Amino acid sequence: KLVLPFVDPRVGAVAGEQIISKEGGAAKGEGLYWRLEGKLKEAESRLGSVIGADGSMYSIRKELYPNFRAKAIVMDDFIISTSVITRGYKLEYAPDAHSYEGASKNMWIEFRRKARIFAGSAGSISLVLKLLLKPFVFKLILHKFIRWFSPFLLITLFISNIFLISYGLFYKAILVAQCIFYGLSIVGLAIELSGMPHSRLTYFPLYFTMTNVAEVYGLIGMIAGRYKPAWKKLR
pLDDT tens by residue, 105-147:
778 888 888 888 888 777 777 666 666 556 566 677 777 777 8
pLDDT, residue 39, reads 79
DSSP class of 109: H
Contact 28, 202 (CB under 8 A): no
Q: Which amino acid is at 166?
A: S
d(CA 204, CA 189): 11
Lowest mean pLDDT among 99-103, 115-119, 221-225: 99-103
Is residue 72 in some structural domain? yes
Distance from C-alpha of 213 to C-alpha of 208, rounded to nearest angstrom? 9
Distance in angstroms between the alpha carbons of the first and the last residue of the chain? 31
**Does any domain span residue 235?**
no
Residue range(s) defining the domain that contains residue 83: 4-224
Residue range 181-204, pLDDT digits in tens: 999 999 999 988 888 877 888 888
Instruction: Give the chain's domain count.
Output: 1
- Neighbouring residues of 127: CB distance < 8 A, sequence distance ≥ 6: 74, 79
Encoded amino acid at 174, one letter? I
pLDDT above 70 as % of the chain: 82
How does strand 11-20 pair with strand 90-101? parallel
Q: Judge whether 79 lies within some domain.
A: yes
Q: What is the pLDDT of residue 104?
A: 72
Report if residue 229 sits inside a domain: no
pLDDT value for 186: 94
**Three-class HEC string of 19-78:** EECCCCCCHHHHHHHHHHHHHHHHHHHHCCCCCCCCCCCEEECHHHCCCCCCCCCCCHHH
In the chain, count H helices and then E strands: 7, 3
Report yes or no on 232 lying in a domain: no
Per-residue pLDDT at 25 exceeds 60: no
Distances (CA, A) of 125 to 13, 76, 141: 21, 12, 12
Give the pLDDT of residue 36.
78
Interval 148-157 mean pLDDT: 90
Question: Cα torsion at 51, 231, 35, 109 (round to 10°)?
Answer: -140
Asked, for residue 192, whether it belongs to a domain, the answer is yes
Residue 100 confidence class, pLDDT cut points 50, 70, 90: confident
* Reported confidence tier of residue 213, pLDDT bands at 50, 70, 90: very high
The pTM for the full model equals 0.76
Closest to 103 measured CA to CA, from 26, 212, 49: 26
| pLDDT confidence tier of residue 172, bands split at 50, 70 and 90 | very high
Which of 90-94, 171-175, 222-226 shows the highest mean pLDDT? 171-175
Query: Average of pLDDT values for 3-27?
Result: 81
Beta bridge partners of 15: 58, 93
Of 7-11, 34-38, 95-99, 228-232, which has the strongest mean pLDDT?
Answer: 7-11
Closest CA to 209 of 190, 193, 186: 186
The answer to whether position 147 is within a domain reads: yes
pLDDT at 46 over 70: yes
